[in-house]
Structure 1
Amino acid sequence: MSTEQHVTAHAGFAYGVIGADLHVFGDGTPVYLLHNWRPAPAADPDWLRELPSRMLNARFEVVPFTGREAELAELRAWRDEGPRLAVRWTHAPGGQGKTRLAARFAEETQGTGWRVITAVHGPGSVQPPPGSEDVTVDGHAGVLLVVDYADRWPLTHLTWLLRNAVLHRPGVRTRVLLLARTADAWPAVRSAFRNIEAATSSRLLAELPDTARMYGAARAAFAERYGLPPAPGPPPPPYGLTLALHMAALVDVDATASGRRPPTDLAGLTVYLLDREHLHWATLHARGGPHATPPPAMNRAVFAAALTGTLDRPTASAVVAGLGTGHSPGRVLDDHAYCYPAAEPGRGTVLEPLYPDRLAEDFLALTLPGHDADYPAMAWAPEITARLLGPHAGRAVTFLAAAAQRWPHVGPRHLYPRLAYAPRLALAAGSAALSALAALDDIPLALLAAIEDEFPAGGHVELNAGMAALTRRVVAELLARDGSPRARAAGYYHLSTRLLNAGLDDEALNAARRSVDAARELDDVPELAASLGRLGDCLTHNGRPSEALRATEEAAALLQPLTEAAPARHEPQYAGLLSDLARRLAAVGRHREALVASESATARWRRLAAADPSHTQGLAAALQALGGHLNNHRRWDEGLAATRESTSLRLALAEGNMAAHEPHLVSGLVTLAASLAALGEQEMSLKAARQAVESLRALARVDPVAYEPGLAAALMDLGVSLNEAGLHAEGLDTTAESVAVRRRLHRTNPDAHARDLANVLSNLSHLLLEAGRPNEALAAAGEGVQLLDPLHTDTPEIHRADLAKCVSLQAVCLVATGRHKAGLVMAVRAVRLYEAAWQAAPERHGFDLARVLRHLGLLLADSGHDAEALGVWENALALAYGHLIPPAYASFTAELRGDLDAIRARTR
């Protein structure tokens, strides 16, 4: 079957793909570009020798793949085994051989019949050429997507990429290989991948163990390009870095060919190669002709390209116009492109930088004044750096930080002063740049602190990983200078917040524990209460609700007497702790106490907001939580009133900043939908639930760590509402989606999500039963029971009601699949579990117990045990009359009375 697509541009540009999605910004520029992987282009040896650095560019694969056989075999196994979709993050310092390994793997994979695609980050000024790229997967054994520099992509852009349809063809084996310098961004990226149900793994590329073989292979390959015999060269230098070995081999061969003595150290190798760049510029200039830009002008252009990276021609013209070359920007760009042609001809880009990246970083360092290497620094370089650092911060800061790791003058003389003057540049540079800055040994603490002062108070999905890395460094530096209990308590408290935002839950918990330990050494109750409250947050994120409750209870008990004595000083902190305490109490099934704590918190926030409108947000949050707790106690009218008041307050707050308040409004919609459903307002409830899910989907795409749990809960509630509205198929699909989200969360953190997964599985089981699919329903209920049984054994007071629900559904499913006796056994177990839950919280579980008693009675009656069924139903009816029944289930009592009348008539 042939595929044809016509792409036309009118007064702009156009780009198309066949067999995949195209994600673009509002102005039409692509977020990323997809290309079919192509093998290394054949390069003229004479052209390569003109600039020896060209032979170091992995794109030309001058050196055959050598020395990574074990890692290549591991990639083959990853490709061929495991689930349909898998993602791997491969990281190592620049020059370690990631790109070469990926290229060899891509070539092999394409040879086995797979479609191999590369993704290039596309925002900003670089525009694609008109045309289409055919990435259809029909007839291919699988799909491999390779993403280089993945740590430099904004998280949201990676998330969009991974939603691309080309990765989600049913039955098509798919692998995504991400290449990066560090693993700092991986936890957040891995969380984003939960959206696509991918198996995830990471791999650090270690230094090469067999450097002699690598060096020998590189030297032989370079000698071939120079037309030299493959004579044995000197022993390999003591470098473990692949690029360093290649540089040493290249310089040795080039020096041999020209009769020079090669340098013996890494700095000397770099200088040698850069000297060859200068020689090439001088040679072109001396020849005259069309590409005769003088070397000083070319030097400035190459320096600028190292800072900016490739640009479209109009932007590049503006950059070159500001370099002070004395020549027209058009001529300089043309001559620069002759020396350094675009990696992808036809895209219309210019200012291709030096490759490999490490050489560009070293070129920046050596051109900037302050070093003692035998290489001419340029007086104009600091001014150009200052001019380009702002508009091109993403690349410039990252490359200068990498250069500063090897060249001690770059940071103190050039990068740090610029960032001290404008610390927000570090944030504009992105998460990878923040991580690179945090790794610099000589960066001043004052500068790190100034950058950190620019961090947003809460999390930022694109920056969380870098902010966590930089805060980790700041706290370590501060505590090395001042290890007092107060400094440790404050430092670890702050660090735990950033780590939580970055999805580093285990590390955050460790930091929170350290904060508490330090705070206990102080005679400062508010400080200890704050640290205990944060410990409760971290324990909750790690699936330890009982421990989280104990920490929060201790915090509230410590702060209560101080609040009563000095409410003006301590009331906000105490009110916040009471709100947290209510959530923690509800999480362990202590709902009566949770309601008391929530009512107290709301009253305190109401007083605070009346005195100071800045506390309105606290009041809105407390009212929403109170609505949920009132619903748990079947006080639906009051719950609805609290939720509506909360929504009204938040809408007023959102008038000034909707983006900041949207998550809170969405959370309120979830509670509002539950209240309306319980009051029988089905249409309004369904509308609110749909709106909540739609908004949470958008939020979870941006920040899955923060919003996926809420999305899963909202999907579960919407599934129930849809089913009750008669939209059974949609309700079932929505509940299945909730199960899929919960499964992803559970795989990442089983302790935190086992209970929630079991609960939505029980809902799925119920809907599958109603859809006439009892075997699938039984499997879902059975899985829920398996998840909850060990939890119930450890903490029965928390999990008995959830387990009872799953067991009761398992009983119904067993009967529906013809296993009547087994169903009767499970029904008895469900009654016993609900009886225990009812004794602990009769107002909450009376209706549940009545419901399972009715089912047990039906099973007994069907088995001919009418007298026993009669007794069970009488107990159920007494419970039904003695407890609040949701209006939506008002028919239950009438149906139960009908059952009783029938059995009584039969037993007379």
Structure 2
Amino acid sequence: MSGPPGEGSRWFPGRRDASADAATMRAGGRMLPGQQVAHSFVDGPVVQVAHAEGGVRVDIGAPKYRVNAQLPAPARLTVREARAQPAKLLHARHQLVSFTGRATELRALRAWRDDDAVMSVLLLHGAGGQGKTRLAVQFAEQSRAGGWQVLQARHASDPPPVTAASATQQNAPTSNVLYLADYAERWPVDDLLEFLHEAARRDGGRARVLLVARPAGVWWQALANRLDRMDVATTSLALRSLIEDQATSSEELYCQARDHFAQAMGVSGAQDVPLPTAILSDHPGIRPVLAVHMAALAAVDRCCRGETDEASMSAPGAVSAYLLSRERDHWRTLCANGAIKTSDSVLARAVFTAALTGAVSHQEGVAALSAIEACAADLSGQVLHEHALLFPPDADRESAVLEPLYPDPLAEDFVALSTPGHHLAHPPDPWADDAIRRLLVPGADQESVYPWTRPALTTLIAASARWPHLVARHLAPLLGQHPELMLHAGGSALTALTEVPELSPGVLENVVARLPDHRHAEFDAGIAAITSKLISPRLRATDDPAERARLHSSLATRQAYAGMYQQAVSAAEVAVEIGRRLVGQDPEAHEPDLAASLSNLGNRLAQVGRYDEALECAKEAVWIRQRLVSRAPDAQAPGLAQALSNLGVRLAEVGRHTEALATEEVAIDIRRRLAAADPVRFEADYATSSSNLGNHLGHVGRRDEALACEEEAVAIRRRLAAENPAAHEPDLARSLSNLGVRLAHVARRDEALACEEEAVAIRRRLAAENPAAHEPDLARSLSNLGVRLAHVARRDEALAREEEAVAIRRRLAAENPAAHEPDLARSLSNLRAWQGS
């Protein structure tokens, strides 16, 4: 791997655009006095945010999320409705059971909110059913009472919003704003970052964003990394089981819920029902607050129906099975009474479909029912209509269909219990045994992927974490036959996959085999998570030290792609250590692998600023390769060229440019011959050497030759990036930036500016996907762009770009001074020069 390391993420100031204001007015949003339309990326898609009555409309092409000024008031069910569908009482929007406990968490949230930071993001995370949404709403109410404006952000694909008891008493806007965003892990990363960027750009006061999600994990680590590079403070709060709260015993929690449910359902005598012993145990399936509430609701409903057998409710999943059976009883009654025409068996299939797809458009709903063969084609409209009567969509999306069951764990349990393979007294539907596959795997005459693939896989993975039969009968076979589906599930789904207990390493291996083996901004973090998960079983599966070294070297590469540079150094060091031992035993057999491991370690060391050590590794790799090529010239020539090119970069990093040039000239001669014989395999390597050679020639003053080399590299990399952007755009951006420098040196300033603007645009996109892997490159291009702008007398713009570069490099230097302080010094020097001019 040649060339300087890269990483990055940065958000940039917006701009006022009168045409956007006009578009907003045409769309019907009335602007409030003093408010503006905001835009996010300077070089990316324009995002329009119109503050209008009733909320904030955000348009990114098609609307992707909405920020509401008011939280809807809690809904209320009549006694008749509650008795007919008791499971509806569990929905967070009803807030039936009084909020209790959580004193420790509320103190932590208040401390976070009241900090002096201008902008801060907190992730509230915990297992499904722990009461995250209720805690978020309670905190929102306390914040509103304390003078904060409370807004709720909802993605277009989100379930209905949370509720607030005093929604009708929304305070007038204040300078401090608290945003709530539930289901944060399900937001596409770009959309979530767009929303956070808009929250950060508001004028005056403090902004707090409370994200609510089940997992923390890699998706949050990657997001927090990006936000840190936006100068946005981040923290997280893991939500314990409420039963672990010393102020609330399991018995108290159960009794409180039982009494509220009894009142809502008009049931007397429920307090005389014996407490279920399972609730008072430490059974892990009972500990979440939702599980306690579900058990209390089932007990009240069974009391109402005269059922008293406690033993039937003791098995894990039995409470869900009971409540879902009661739900189905209601559908059956409606059909028998003529209120609906659809049978309960067909409605169950629609509910099953909805649990996986989530709310979709009518057209997509028809397609989903067809794909899953839930009903006859001519009945799909009727089924969707009557399903909507039972599960009406939220007011924000009245045209949507297939609103799923809530809360989410109940919908996941419905999928699991409908599917054969569990051992509860809840009859599954044999139809469901193939339904998941049909919903996720299009037929030969269909599109390559269904639009609901992402939510369906998300739900299936979440349900599989609690229901082993879903893993064995569905998730594992599905990914065994169609691992490419994970490419459409989003980066966070890759991480979630590693957290399914029963999923075998073989399934993960099958998924990894379909993931990009090169750098890929969207998937690098997820691939690193899976590679880290697999390293232990892979090591256990082999006694071959050489294979173990290769595994550590591969892990180091994947970690480096994800920006996990320190971890990558550790893994690469293990590979070299093993390689040295093997070479001591059999040099001829193992020197090629040691040379590769040394080159890898050298690259990793350079990425953390340990340049002298990196140079020694590169020297040793070349020394080994030279001996190997003398014995097998054709076989070893590519390895020697790679080692020489790396050595040239390492020499340049310590200022030995003449030696670097001589080294790269040898490398490019080899690669020119290789690329002529096999361009598909070696053209990219030749472009790397051509770009490196241009850099070295420029440092020794041979500017015309340097320009020719970089022009050749850009031409090759444009072709390669057109065929495979994810693999080759980072290198294209690097060559464009270098070409800008070369053009400036020969006074072709307008062309130089155009090259650097293109490089910045590419690196902004890469930085938005993976800041840890691309931010230094972004800062480098920003600084270069500042120089190019200054050369054409656009000093104000030059100053703004260098200020961005300085902000990034300050953060990088704080984390790793050795790697980034020299670049920071150069940017500061430019900044001082332009500020004084």
- With normalisation by structure 1, the TM-score equals 0.77
Change in CA separation of 1:59 and 1:751 when aligned onto 2, cut-off 3 Å: farther
Indicate if the aligned counterparts of 1:559 and 1:574 stay in contact, CA closer than 8 A.
yes
Aligned to 2:345: 296
Aligned to 1:334: 385
Deviation at 1:142, TM superposition (A): 2.0
Are residue 438 (structure 1) and residue 498 (structure 2) matched?
Answer: yes
Are residue 672 (structure 1) and residue 739 (structure 2) matched?
Answer: yes
Deviation at 1:427, TM superposition (A): 2.2
Change in CA separation of 1:71 and 1:415 when aligned onto 2, cut-off 3 Å: same
Taking the aligned partners of 2:132 and 2:488, their CA distance within structure 1 comes to 27
Indicate if the aligned counterparts of 2:335 and 2:344 stay in contact, CA closer than 8 A.
yes
Indicate if the aligned counterparts of 1:98 and 1:205 stay in contact, CA closer than 8 A.
yes
Indicate if the aligned counterparts of 2:518 and 2:727 stay in contact, CA closer than 8 A.
no
Aligned to 1:620: 687
SS of match in other structure, 1:328: helix
Deviation at 1:367, TM superposition (A): 1.0
Q: Which amino acid aligns with 1:376?
A: P
Taking the aligned partners of 2:84 and 2:557, their CA distance within structure 1 comes to 53
| More helix per residue | 1
Taking the aligned partners of 2:73 and 2:556, their CA distance within structure 1 comes to 46
Superposition pairs of residues 403-802 of structure 1, within 5 angstroms: 403-523=463-583, 524-614=590-680, 615-654=682-721, 656-657=723-724, 660-746=727-813, 749=816, 752-770=819-837
Aligned to 1:853: none
Taking the aligned partners of 2:537 and 2:623, their CA distance within structure 1 comes to 34
SS of match in other structure, 1:370: coil
Deviation at 1:368, TM superposition (A): 0.8
SS of match in other structure, 2:203: coil
Change in CA separation of 1:590 and 1:91 when aligned onto 2, cut-off 3 Å: farther
Indicate if the aligned counterparts of 1:155 and 1:462 stay in contact, CA closer than 8 A.
no
Aligned to 1:882: none
Change in CA separation of 1:248 and 1:489 when aligned onto 2, cut-off 3 Å: same
- With normalisation by structure 2, the TM-score equals 0.83
Deviation at 1:712, TM superposition (A): 0.9
Superposition pairs of residues 375-386 of structure 1, within 5 angstroms: 375-386=426-437
Superposition pairs of residues 120-199 of structure 1, within 5 angstroms: 120-122=154-156, 139-164=173-198, 166-182=199-215, 183-194=217-228, 196-199=230-233
Aligned to 2:87: 53
Deviation at 1:196, TM superposition (A): 3.2
Indicate if the aligned counterparts of 1:605 and 1:619 stay in contact, CA closer than 8 A.
yes
Q: Which has the higher contact order (CA 8 A, sep 6+)?
A: 2
Taking the aligned partners of 2:172 and 2:761, their CA distance within structure 1 comes to 32
SS of match in other structure, 1:118: strand
Change in CA separation of 1:543 and 1:70 when aligned onto 2, cut-off 3 Å: farther
Q: Which amino acid aligns with 1:530?
A: A
Aligned to 1:215: 254
Deviation at 1:378, TM superposition (A): 0.9
Change in CA separation of 1:49 and 1:600 when aligned onto 2, cut-off 3 Å: farther
Deviation at 1:45, TM superposition (A): 4.0
Aligned to 1:38: 71
Indicate if the aligned counterparts of 1:187 and 1:504 stay in contact, CA closer than 8 A.
no
Aligned to 2:586: none
SS of match in other structure, 1:190: helix
Change in CA separation of 1:749 and 1:161 when aligned onto 2, cut-off 3 Å: farther
Superposition pairs of residues 313-324 of structure 1, within 5 angstroms: 313-321=362-370, 323-324=373-374
The answer to which of 415-424 and 229-238 deviates more is 229-238
Are residue 201 (structure 1) and residue 235 (structure 2) matched?
Answer: yes
Indicate if the aligned counterparts of 1:321 and 1:328 stay in contact, CA closer than 8 A.
no
Q: Which one of the candidate residues 5, 9, 24 is aligned to 2:60?
A: 24
Aligned to 2:40: none
Deviation at 1:249, TM superposition (A): 2.4
Q: Which amino acid aligns with 1:252?
A: A
Taking the aligned partners of 1:531 and 1:283, their CA distance within structure 2 comes to 69
Aligned to 2:43: none
Q: Which amino acid aligns with 1:760?
A: S
Aligned to 1:401: 461
Aligned to 1:349: 400
The answer to which of 254-263 and 360-369 deviates more is 254-263
Deviation at 1:374, TM superposition (A): 0.8
Runs of 5+ consecutive residues of structure 2 not aligned to the other structure:
1-21, 30-47, 161-169, 442-449, 584-589
Indicate if the aligned counterparts of 1:278 and 1:295 stay in contact, CA closer than 8 A.
yes
SS of match in other structure, 2:179: strand
Q: Which amino acid aligns with 1:587?
A: E
Deviation track 1:602-630 (CA, whole Å, cap 9, x = no partner) reads: 22222222332231211111111121222
Taking the aligned partners of 1:207 and 1:542, their CA distance within structure 2 comes to 40
Indicate if the aligned counterparts of 2:560 and 2:773 stay in contact, CA closer than 8 A.
no
Deviation at 1:659, TM superposition (A): 6.4
Taking the aligned partners of 1:255 and 1:543, their CA distance within structure 2 comes to 67
SS of match in other structure, 2:63: coil
Deviation at 1:721, TM superposition (A): 3.1
Indicate if the aligned counterparts of 1:401 and 1:415 stay in contact, CA closer than 8 A.
yes
Change in CA separation of 1:684 and 1:422 when aligned onto 2, cut-off 3 Å: closer
Q: Which amino acid aligns with 2:652?
A: A
Q: Which amino acid aligns with 2:65?
A: Y
Aligned to 1:795: none
Indicate if the aligned counterparts of 2:158 and 2:183 stay in contact, CA closer than 8 A.
no
SS of match in other structure, 1:196: coil
Taking the aligned partners of 1:142 and 1:624, their CA distance within structure 2 comes to 50
Change in CA separation of 1:405 and 1:586 when aligned onto 2, cut-off 3 Å: same
How many residue pairs match? The answer is 750
SS of match in other structure, 2:241: coil
The RMSD of aligned alpha carbons is 3.0
Change in CA separation of 1:464 and 1:58 when aligned onto 2, cut-off 3 Å: farther
Change in CA separation of 1:426 and 1:346 when aligned onto 2, cut-off 3 Å: closer
Deviation at 1:16, TM superposition (A): 7.6
Change in CA separation of 1:522 and 1:313 when aligned onto 2, cut-off 3 Å: same
Q: Which amino acid aligns with 2:665?
A: E
Taking the aligned partners of 2:818 and 2:239, their CA distance within structure 1 comes to 31
Deviation at 1:6, TM superposition (A): 5.4
The answer to which of 375-384 and 658-667 deviates more is 658-667
Taking the aligned partners of 1:545 and 1:137, their CA distance within structure 2 comes to 57
Q: Which amino acid aligns with 1:35?
A: N
SS of match in other structure, 1:522: helix
Indicate if the aligned counterparts of 2:641 and 2:667 stay in contact, CA closer than 8 A.
yes
Indicate if the aligned counterparts of 1:244 and 1:266 stay in contact, CA closer than 8 A.
no
Aligned to 1:793: none
Taking the aligned partners of 2:467 and 2:173, their CA distance within structure 1 comes to 51
Change in CA separation of 1:764 and 1:252 when aligned onto 2, cut-off 3 Å: same
Change in CA separation of 1:32 and 1:518 when aligned onto 2, cut-off 3 Å: farther
Runs of 5+ consecutive residues of structure 1 not aligned to the other structure:
10-14, 127-135, 771-908
Deviation track 1:524-571 (CA, whole Å, cap 9, x = no partner) reads: 112122222222333333333333333333322222211233221122
SS of match in other structure, 1:22: strand
Taking the aligned partners of 2:616 and 2:296, their CA distance within structure 1 comes to 63
Are residue 246 (structure 1) and residue 297 (structure 2) matched?
Answer: no
Deviation at 1:388, TM superposition (A): 0.7
Change in CA separation of 1:606 and 1:764 when aligned onto 2, cut-off 3 Å: same
Indicate if the aligned counterparts of 2:71 and 2:152 stay in contact, CA closer than 8 A.
no
Deviation at 1:658, TM superposition (A): 5.9
SS of match in other structure, 1:311: coil
Q: Which one of the candidate residues 312, 327, 338 is aligned to 2:361?
A: 312
